[in-house]
Amino acid sequence: MVKIAPSILAADFLHLERDVKLVNDHADLLHFDVMDGCLVPNLSFGFPVMEAVAGIATIPLDVHLMIVNPDKYIGRFAEAGASYISFHLEAADESGKDAAEYIALAKSHGVKAGLAIDPDIPVERLFPYIESVDFFLIMSVFAGFGGQKFIEDSIGRIATLRAEMERVGVIKDIEVDGGVSSSNAKALIDAGATMLVAGSSVFKADNPAQAIAGMRF
Ligand code: DX5
Ligand code: ZN
């Protein structure tokens, strides 16, 4: 069954406890977006917020590192309570490293290792990591901001990745992030997505529980 991961980037930060508790009983994961203003043109939050959220979340934390040099911080996020940690292939490119290093590091900390790419990176670049990764994160908007419009092309990219997994006989989770709602959830799941991140469509909804239920197909 598909996992729904509300992104707290879209929560009301003056009522963060209320918003986390609102989705605790309905969602499968809590998505936590960390931005450094370098890999992406925006800043978000880090360890103090993460630790506070970890104290009240009853579902696993899914940390999305939109930062350069994620290897510096993977261990601390694991210690702070992350169950899933994703990092960008673009971050590895920038530092001249192989993303395989980040994957191995995350796994050594006992968390699920995810490799993410923005919409302008060819999806074929993920193929060499199918064996080693725990999940892939296909960005369906450019990383950095919540509330952007879903890029339709993402559905085909997910289908391409899924088809390659089937060809090699190794099936891993595919997470999709950006502009996800009940209007595109079915197409994404049909294409092969197994984890849906949703910020605005959950936390800006009148009824977040219903919004989550509306993405399960
Ligand atoms: C964007 C973040 C997303 C964001 C999604 O850089 O990675 O997780 O919170 O927000 P929505 O669902 O509003 O597009
Ligand atoms: Zn995210």
Enumerate domains of the chain plus CATH numbers: 3-213 (3.20.20.70)
Structure tokens at 9: 């980037």
Report CA dihedral (198, 204, 208, 211) to the nearest 10 degrees.
Answer: -60
pLDDT band at 10 (very low <50, low <70, confident <90, very high): very high
Counting from 1 in the atom list of ligand 1, the atom nearest the Cα of 35 is: 6
Percent of the chain exceeding pLDDT 70 equals 100
pTM over 0.75: yes
CA atoms within 13 A on the CB side of 111: 28
- CA of 148, nearest ligand number: 1
Structure token pair of residue 187: 């197409």
How much is the average pLDDT of 34-51? 98
pLDDT of residue 17: 98
Render the burial of 144-158: b for 16+ CB within 10 Å, e for the rest. Answer: bbbebebbeebbebb
The rounded Å distance from CA 65 to ligand 2 centre is 8
The mean pLDDT value of the chain amounts to 98
- Which residues line the pocket of ligand 1, CB cutoff 6 A? 7, 9-10, 31, 33, 64, 141, 143-148, 177-180, 197-201
Question: What pLDDT score does 147 carry?
Answer: 98
The pLDDT value given to residue 170:
98
Helix and strand element counts for the chain (H, E): 9, 8
pLDDT band at 177 (very low <50, low <70, confident <90, very high): very high
Give residue 167's pLDDT. 98
Token pair belonging to 135: 């999940």
What does the pLDDT look like over 181-208, one tens digit per residue?
A: 999 999 999 999 999 999 999 999 999 9
Mutation choice for ligand 1 from 35, 44, 148, 212, CB with most ligand atoms inside 8 A:
148
Instruction: Name the residues annotated as catalytic.
Output: 33, 177
pLDDT digits (tens, 9 = 90+) for 130-154: 999 999 999 999 999 999 999 999 9
Determine the atom of ligand 1 nearest the C-alpha atom of 9: 9
SS3 content of the chain, % helix, strand, coil (to 5): 40, 20, 35
**Looking at residue 31, what is its pLDDT?**
99
The pLDDT of residue 87? 98
CA of 12 to the centre of ligand 2 (A): 16
Instruction: Say which residue the tokens 């959220």 belong to.
Output: 53
